[in-house]
Structure 1
Amino acid sequence: MDEHHELDEVAVATYEFALRTGSFGDEDVAGHLGVDVRLVAEARKTLQDMRLVASAGSGRAVVALDPEIAEAELVTPLELSIAQRRREISSIHQQLRVLSAMYRARAQPVAEDVPIRVLDDFEDVRREIDLARRRCTDERITLQPGGGRSAELLDQDLLQTLEMRERGIRIRTLYQHTAHASLATRAYVRQICEAGAEVRTAEELSERLIIYDRKLAFIPKERTGKEPPGAAIVTDPTIVAYLYRSFESVWQGSQTFDIGGTAEYHHAEDLRMSVIRLMAMGLKDEVIARRLGMSTRTCRRHISGIMGEVGATSRFQAGILLAKQGLGQDDESVTVS
């Protein structure tokens, strides 16, 4: 069977009818169930594909077959395929471990002596992350600033995250509130949370960060073009512990990622107040957008709406009005640029 079939209510009722009557035709079942004959034809096709019914002689009638025999016929090829894949995986491990030992004997001592390594090429970073993921035994934590991520990246990370969860690795990820607006991100979060991962959101996050087992941290370099940047790989215990504590501090004050269908609206008021607060601090549009994880265009749309609410004709006037109303003020002094 090349594809997985689902036994719906019509298929189950059709099989039950076949058991009771000995054989059946599509019209007989359709009349008995009170459904369209096309639904019965689809159900019969599903039952045939699953080896649960077979043609009775040369006529159009079919008879029910033993589900245990059908199960053996369907499952045995899959089990054989899985066993073959496992043998192939074992063979790959055995062959490459010999070479890996040779490579580590030459390269690893140099790397371990350096508490911070900076890799300029993103492909080198990706390979190091893949290695860290495979070696991870306890926990992976991630800071993902900005809004939603691309569907392509999420699809790739989904498989890796689910594989880690199968190994019992704890997964914790922090997004910004603006990630709720991404359908792809919400779908990804729903799937990994069903597998036991933990995902939360916060108003503002620093740069992206990944830490494996509280021992190895990846900090991206500043992006200077369209290409993905390199990264610093940190193994110094003091620095990694500091980064981990910083993550924990934000995690404790964050909110569980809401994967509901209208989740993008749940933080609308929080987002509005965040924009107001940063406006009142005198920050420019680009800075506000970066801190809240949204595009500059989206940020300016929020600012325009807020200016309309307070009756301001300029950003300067809006800042003064917001300051007078006490909106967005905190312990920091309010300035207007």
Structure 2
Amino acid sequence: MNDSDKGWYSVLSPVAVKLYEWSLRRGGISRAEALEAAPGIGGSVADVSDALRTLIELSLLRSSLSEPDVLLPVSPESAIAEVVNPIEVDIKEREQQVGGLKSQLLSLNSLYFQSRQARNRREAIDVISDAESVRSVLAKEARACSVEVFSAHPGIFSERAIERSLPQGLELLRRGVRMRTLYQHPVRVSSMMRHRLTQLAAEGCEIRTCEEIPDRIVIFDREVAFIPDRMGSDGAVAVREPSTVDFLYRGLEQAWSTAVPFEDRSPSGIGYGAARSEMKRAIVRYLAEGAKDELIAHRLSISVRTCRRHIAEVMEELEASSRFQAGVLAMRAGLLDDEAVSVSETSLRLSRR
């Protein structure tokens, strides 16, 4: 049975059934008689011609040995034996072939999964040991990036780091690559960082700031993520395993959703702008937890001196005589629970009590 033979059993039309019935009543029909009887059978000449071909192919009509032009009706059982049985035999043979092929192919499954596991171990995580190699690999991924770069960076960039990274960021943006970057609030008061961020924002970079970023992460096209190598001070780890990259991406999305958009120009032209209340709320929370100045400064990526100045300002606004009292007053006023309340508003509430 070739491919063109497949589907015979699906074309037995109503005209073919009527034509077969008519041939049974007459004991046989000629082609010419069948075409002439088309109107009475309920079809056109073309319909009857197609029906004749179908009945012959299905062995329901067969040419008479004595009169080749006469087509004799054949019983359905005989047609089955002639047409269907060979198909069933062919199906059984093919089933045996399929079973044999399955067995052969499935025998290679263990080899495939062992190889894939070994390949994933080699490729899913790549440890890059030195800073120069990290920069080289990041530059390569940036050149190959076509959709999005999503990243988070704690602290303030050095002047050298700004000089290195700014051209690359501008090049990506000008190629139409979407860039979303998350920084900590102190970048807003760094003149070098504000200059860099303003340039990037002018080219379409989306920038937000937040209170704390645990560590640096860069994700290219949601396919490869770079995180710091904790075992080496200057190294990085490239992660390509899809589920892990997706997990890191969604975590970054969550941080992004609560961060404060960066303004090219704050209302006063300098300072934290819209992030000012968040910074002071963070300091109050750390005070309430009893954190040391050094820890607060580290978490917020500011100097200890700047941190102490902020603490003094917060204590003055809260009219607190000690750090502990500042934390207690903030808790009583609900500052640590209600993000909509500013430190100044809390001070006003306390003064009315």
2:127 to 94, 100, 118: 118
Counterpart AA for 2:235? G
| Mapped partners of 1:304, 1:264: distance in 2 | 17
**2:173 is matched with which residue: 156, 165, 172?**
165
Q: How has the CA–CA distance of structure 1 residues 114 and 186 changed in structure 2, closer, same or farther, with 3 Å as cutoff?
A: same
How far off is 1:291 after superposition?
A: 2.5
CA-to-partner distance for each residue in 1:70-122, whole Å, 9 max, x for gaps? xxxxxxxxxxxxxxxxxxxxxxxxxxxxxxxxxxxxxxx97983322222211
Post-superposition shift, 1:297? Answer: 2.2
Q: Does 1:208 align with 2:216?
A: yes
In 2, Cα distance between equivalents of 1:178 and 1:305? 16
Mapped pair 1:194 → 2:199: no
For residue 183 of structure 2, the aligned residue among 155, 160, 175 is: 175
Tell whether the 8 Å contact from 2:201 to 2:264 is kept in structure 1 after alignment: no
Query: Is the aligned partner of 1:258 residue 2:258?
Result: no
1:294-330 CA-to-partner distances (Å, cap 9, x unmatched) read 2222112212333344454543444344434443257
Relative to structure 1, is the Cα distance of residues 307 and 246 closer, same or farther in structure 2, using a 3 angstrom cutoff? Answer: same
Q: Which residue of 2 aligns with 1:62?
A: none
Confirm whether residue 305 of structure 1 aligns to residue 310 of structure 2.
Answer: no
The aligned residue for residue 234 of structure 2 is: 229
Partner of residue 11, structure 1: none
Shift of 1:216: 0.8
Aligned-partner SS, 2:201 = helix
**Partner secondary structure for residue 205 of structure 1:** coil
Stretch deviating more after TM superposition (150-159 or 260-269):
260-269
Aligned residue for 1:140, secondary structure, equals: strand
Partner SS state of residue 123, structure 2? coil
1:25-104 to structure 2, matched below 5 A, reads none
The match for 1:287 among 290, 295, 313 is 295
Partner of 2:151: 142
TM-score (norm 2): 0.56
Task: String of CA shifts for 1:249-290, please: whole Å, max 9, x gaps.
Answer: 121222221121624241323311221122112222233223
Partner residue in 2 for 1:238: 243
- In 2, the alpha carbon distance for the partners of 1:199 and 1:214 equals 18
Alignment of 1:6-21 (within 5 A): none
Distance 1:123 1:192, change over 3 A: same
Higher CA-based Rg: 2
Q: Residue type matched to 2:180 in 1?
A: R
Instruction: Give the partner amino acid of 1:240.
Output: V
Which moved further from structure 2: 310-319 or 258-267?
Answer: 310-319
Rounded Cα–Cα distance in structure 2 between residues aligned with 1:141 and 1:290: 24
Cα RMSD, aligned residues only: 2.6
> 2:28 maps to which residue?
none
Question: Would the alpha carbon gap of residues 305 and 121 (structure 1) be closer, same or farther in structure 2, given more than 3 Å must change?
Answer: same
Which secondary structure does the structure 2 equivalent of 1:264 belong to? coil
Matches of 1:126 and 1:190 in 2, distance apart? 23
2:331 aligned partner? 323
Determine what percentage of the aligned residue pairs are the same residue: 39
More moved, 163-172 vs 113-122: 113-122
Q: Which amino acid aligns with 2:150?
A: I
CA distance in 2, matches of 1:118, 1:299: 35
Conserved in 2, the CA contact under 8 Å of 1:278 and 1:328? no
1:129 aligned onto 2:138: yes
- Structure 2 counterpart of 1:121, one-letter code: D
Label 1:111 to 1:182 Cα distance change in 2 as closer, same or farther (>3 A): farther
Give the residue type in structure 2 aligned to 1:150.
S
SS of the residue corresponding to residue 127 of structure 2 reads: strand
Secondary structure of the corresponding residue to residue 207 of structure 2? strand
Q: Which residue of 1 aligns with 2:193?
A: 185
Of 232-241 and 308-317, more deviation after overlay is shown by: 308-317
Q: Which runs of 5+ in 1 are unaligned?
A: 1-108, 332-337
Aligned residues: 219
- Summarize deviations over 1:238-258 as a string: whole Å, max 9, x none: 111001111111212222211
